[in-house]
Structure 1
Amino acid sequence: MIGLMQTNSLSASFPFPRMSLPDTLDTTPDEIPGTGCVAARGNINMTRPRAVGYLRRDISGVRKDWDENQVRSLAAKFGYDLCKIFVFGSNTDQPLHRLRIAVERTHADAVVVPSVDHFAGGQIPTELQAVATIITVSPEQSLPRSTARWELKP
């Protein structure tokens, strides 16, 4: 007969035509451009908070790869989705400004660093702590964000 759907015995009594679904749904994650963070298609994945790593090449020296691995491990231990590790050298122009822009673009909640020695003067910059929690590998500590994001003025 023309126009009738082929049905199996389970759906023969069901009066509506069966809809077929694809074998797999399109849940391919997308990268948020320029961040390294992965998002669900069309939405930012908010299941885990995001973090970025930061280290200075001249401070880490031959331990650079070790420091990067420690940053990755600690971010995972604290439950963060590590978007990217930013590695700057002593000649990098405005490293703090660049890091702050990276935090804002990735919507990162935290910055993970090997130690405070990677910041100028060995001190956590207040303008960075105003936008993100600072997590250090050695000593292992988490310093919470000092100001809610919506209270900041550009």
Structure 2
Amino acid sequence: MDSSASNFPHTAGDPRGAMARTTRLVEFPGGVLELDSYGTPDDDYPGDREDRSEMRYRPTCLGYLRTDISGMSQLWDEGQIRKLAAGLGYDFALMVLFDPTSGRPPLARLKAQATRLDARAVIVPGPEHFTGCRVPESLMRQLDVITVHPEQTYSRYPGWDRRRA
């Protein structure tokens, strides 16, 4: 039998030489990733390097808009929120839409999702999407609030401990 004709793709008859299957577990914020690779033990694997500067944490953000305020511009507003999130280096997780005809409190779902996703910021098209065209203090206790137009950031209160919220 010819040694190059084998049922196993990674054998001595393989021109690439003997390959070993390696499973690596890589931890990142929010989970664990299992990586399967084939190679020789001498292969340089990026995960084996001491320099971990390539793996960066990106904070999570949410989008929020009121459907009655956005109206026909809703898709445009959503796109602008996503574009700004990417430009600021956020990991955009979810768009929270508020419909005032639902009868629910305006910020209840936003705050609940922010807590569940451990979000650091919320991006809104403008301050007019909040009652009275003002960013609520209760929201600034939990998140940075960023408006698209005008582009402005309302930072969380300094020294505020989220665990006490």
Q: Does the TM-score normalized on the shorter chain lie above 0.5?
A: yes
Alpha-carbon distance between aligned partners in 1 of 2:64 and 2:135, rounded to the nearest angstrom: 12
Alpha-carbon distance between aligned partners in 2 of 1:127 and 1:67, rounded to the nearest angstrom: 24
1:69 maps to: 79
Query: How does 1:95-134 map onto structure 2 within 5 Å?
Result: 95-134=106-145
Structure 2 CA distance for partners of 1:91 and 1:76, relative to 1, 3 Å: same
| 1:58-115 C-alpha deviation (Å, 9 max, x unpaired) | 0000000000000000011111011011111112301212211111111000000000
Aligned length: 128
Alpha-carbon distance between aligned partners in 2 of 1:103 and 1:46, rounded to the nearest angstrom: 21
Structure 2 CA distance for partners of 1:19 and 1:46, relative to 1, 3 Å: same
Moved over 4 A (4+): 24-27
| 1:105-145 C-alpha deviation (Å, 9 max, x unpaired) | 11000000000100111110101001111000000111111
**How far has the Cα of 1:26 moved from its partner?**
7.5
Structure with the larger RCO, 1 or 2 (CA within 8 Å, 6+ apart): 1
Name the structure where strand makes up a greater proportion of residues.
Answer: 2
Percent identity reads 36
2:47 maps to: none
> Unaligned regions of 5+ residues in structure 2, if any?
1-10, 34-54
**How far has the Cα of 1:40 moved from its partner?**
4.2
User: Secondary structure of the residue that 1:98 maps to in structure 2?
Assistant: helix
Alpha-carbon RMSD: 3.0
> Unaligned regions of 5+ residues in structure 1, if any?
1-5, 9-17, 30-37
Alpha-carbon distance between aligned partners in 1 of 2:31 and 2:113, rounded to the nearest angstrom: 20
Structure 2 CA distance for partners of 1:147 and 1:102, relative to 1, 3 Å: farther
2:96 touches 2:109 (CA, 8 Å); kept in 1?
A: no
